Amino acid sequence: MKIPVQKLKAKGLEPFEFTEQVDVSDIQGKNDIRRIDPVKVSGQATSYGNDITVKFAIDGKMILPCARTLVDVPYEFHIDAIELFTLSPYASADDESEIHPVEGELLDLKPYIEENILLDVPFRVFSDDQQVYDDAVTEGEGWQLASEEAQQDKIDPRLEKLQALLKKDDE
């Protein structure tokens, strides 16, 4: 997503508004992102002399792995971001500041959109429990899943005689 610097300067102090679909599939595979759809980016850019302030919102949906079962989990996100840029020739990208230099006549927001998405990816997500139960294997060769509801309070046959003694004591 590129914004011509000349358009920003022509607007003066009035904000330049934009809304666009951006393909960010380059970040697929990073931070456990299995798939990401194109995101909607809307916002405004304002120029103050050599400085440019861009406020934008990113809305989209990505597929992440479940932390328990590794099944695909859809994760919708909304990110509000503010990025600061400068046209000053004295600013460099090596500076530790949060002000990014603009190289050329186009302000490219795509790397900053991707960075904000990567920073917003949660450490872990969990799938819907019903989906986990539907996909889970409940029996195999020589084993079967036992749930608490299905298991009744059975008395161990070796301890049945003790149970009979306890009943005598109660009477």
Q: Specify whether the CB–CB gap between 43 and 55 falls below 8 A.
A: yes
What pLDDT score was predicted for residue 149?
A: 62
The tens digit of pLDDT for each residue in 16-44 reads 899 999 999 888 888 888 999 999 999 99
Domain that holds residue 32: 2-130
Task: Give φ, ψ of 144 to 5 degrees.
Answer: -150, 140
Give the pairing of strands 99-101 and 72-86: parallel
In the predicted structure, residue 89 carries a pLDDT above the cut 80: no
Cβ-proximal residues to 19 (8 Å cutoff; 6+ apart), any chain = 40, 41, 42
Task: Give φ, ψ of 141 to 5 degrees.
Answer: -75, 110
For the chain, percent of residues with pLDDT exceeding 70: 84
Give, in degrees to the nearest 5, the angle at Cα 111 between 110 and 115.
Answer: 115
Q: How many domains does the chain have?
A: 1
Higher pLDDT, 153 or 4: 4
- Which of 22-36, 85-99, 108-122 is least confident? 85-99
Average pLDDT over residues 45-70: 90
What pLDDT score was predicted for residue 106?
A: 87
Cβ–Cβ contacts within 10 Å for residue 117, how many?
23
Residue 147 lies in a domain: no
What pLDDT score was predicted for residue 126?
A: 86
Average pLDDT over residues 137-155: 70
Q: What is the pTM of this model?
A: 0.71
Arithmetic mean of pLDDT over the chain: 83
Helix (H) / strand (E) containing 11: helix 5-11
Average pLDDT over residues 5-21: 86
Residue 16 lies in a domain: yes
